[in-house]
Structure 1
Amino acid sequence: MEIASFANGCFWCTEAVFQRLNGVSNVVSGFTGGKIKHPPYREVVMGRTGHAEAIQLEFDPNIIGYEILLQVFFATHDPTSLNKQGYDVGEQYRSEIFYHNEFQKKTADSVINQLNTEVYNNKIVTKLSPASPFYEAEIEHQDFYNLHQENRYCEYIIDPKLETLRSKFKPYLKQ
């Protein structure tokens, strides 16, 4: 198993997307890329710590490759929007890939260059950074979508991301 870490807006959204991929396990919502140890949620969402809301996951590269994870990452948020995803605004909602090794860094660079050339009219603003300490968010933020699908935020923000996932990445979904 390998580890991947992504920030692309609200971690509830990102967690819900990656939980549905075959070969992905142990998706955890949390914070990374900031200035203090063990930041509390309320401080992160107020933009006081420099952390991004992010997920960290384990994946089996024999089942799903890192490049597919990156394609899902880019397809389920707007990587050309600086520090903003939908209604969520601030540095804590930035688009950022936290690579864990040189292969992940090179693969992310390659995918970004390809998407900038072939897909997006506006330049991708996703940051590419070495993995830093990851702090698990409080328990009420874990598995949020699966426990609260009737929540309005889930219906308006997360459901469309899951529809994109089902339409573009069906062969990679868990049964």
Structure 2
Amino acid sequence: MQHTIALFVNDQPGVLTRVATLFGQRGFNIDSITVGASEEAGLSRMIITTTGDDHQINQLMKQLTKLIDVISVTNLSKNPFVSRELALIKVSAKPSQMVELNGIIEPFRASIVDIGPNSLIIQATGDTEKIDALLVLLKTYGIIELTRTGSMAMARSNVVEAASI
């Protein structure tokens, strides 16, 4: 089962390494990870997606709370949450295909952010499933290059279940 875990950590060198090492030592693969500034100065928020059963994830969360510089750990998957991802997709395209490609990306609320003589770059935001669906449609044109941010997520409303140190 896919889980989205939010960590609130001190913004210090080596924190990301310690977190990633713990995942590896426990046999977990990190499907995506995003790290950035939070609402509090000196603290960062990590959003990590991984796969495991509830018992495995609970054990992992207990281990994460023991790490130095980890302030809190929340399994966002336990309650409703909002998740978004950004993708930049370079697609092989001739000028004659622009109208056709616009028709494909418009329902996804994606946009063309760069046009070259034989390719274009599309920017898409949304949940992982939306990005995946767009990629399936664009594959027939030839995806030259792809980069994705990984999931960014936040609990809806005031629903937060955090384990704090």
TM-score w.r.t. length of structure 2: 0.36
Q: Name which one, 1 or 2, has greater alpha-carbon Rg.
A: 2
Instruction: Give the TM-score, by structure 1 length.
Output: 0.34
| Structure number having the greater helix percentage | 1
